[in-house]
Each structure stands twice: as structure tokens, then as C-alpha cells.
Amino acid sequence: GETAVLACSALKQKYRDQLRVSPQVQFVYLAGSFDLIWQRMSQRTNHYMKADMLRSQFTALEPPTADEAILIPIEQDVAVIVDQVLQMAGQL
């Protein structure tokens, strides 16, 4: 009965299906537009994923459905996003 948090892209449905080994697995989809994510990535330094790699990620993305993941818009402040994730995790 351990709890864990895993962060990964899991861009495709088949990847999420492989990760969903238990009914207790819950996905959180941090949803944002290409432009917003591009802007934020362009401001980062010393990160392995450069902003120019973003287009291929969006091309490959198969967004999860509402019944597959908790959807959280990333236009909000990071503290609000964290609070939402923690609140929803407490409901699981």
C-alpha cells in the first residue's frame, strides 16, 4: 500500500494503458495551449527539452478523455494547480 507520484508525458493512449496496471492509478492532465507552453519553455534554462521539440510533442499527443484523467488547465498560478492536484488526490 505505498503511494507514488510519477511524472511523464504518456502522450499516447497506448502508453497510458500500459501504465494503468491498477484501478488505483490516476492520471492528471495538465492542459495548456501550444503558445502558452512554448512561452514557458522558452524562458527555461538548463533543461534537456528545448522549446523547439514542443511541436513534435503536440503532434504525437492523444489527449486523455474526461473519464481517463483529471483535467487541470495550466493558465492558473502554479500554487493553484498544486492545490487542485492535492485536493483531487485526497478524494481518490
Give residue-wise pLDDT tens across range 37-85: 988 888 877 777 766 788 999 999 999 998 899 899 999 998 999 998 8
Q: For residue 57, what are the domain limits?
A: 13-90
Residue 6 lies in a domain: no
Q: Do 72 and 28 contact (CB within 8 A), yes or no?
A: yes
Supply 25's cell numbers: 492509478
Residue 7 lies in a domain: no
Residue 32 lies in a domain: yes
Residue 1 lies in a domain: no
Q: Do 10 and 27 contact (CB within 8 A), yes or no?
A: yes
Residue 3 lies in a domain: no
The count of structural domains within the chain is 1
Q: What is the DSSP letter of 51?
A: G
Residue 43 lies in a domain: yes
Q: What is the DSSP letter of 55?
A: H
pTM value is: 0.79
Gyration radius of the chain over CA positions: 14
Residue 4 lies in a domain: no
Residue 27 lies in a domain: yes
Q: Do 27 and 16 contact (CB within 8 A), yes or no?
A: yes
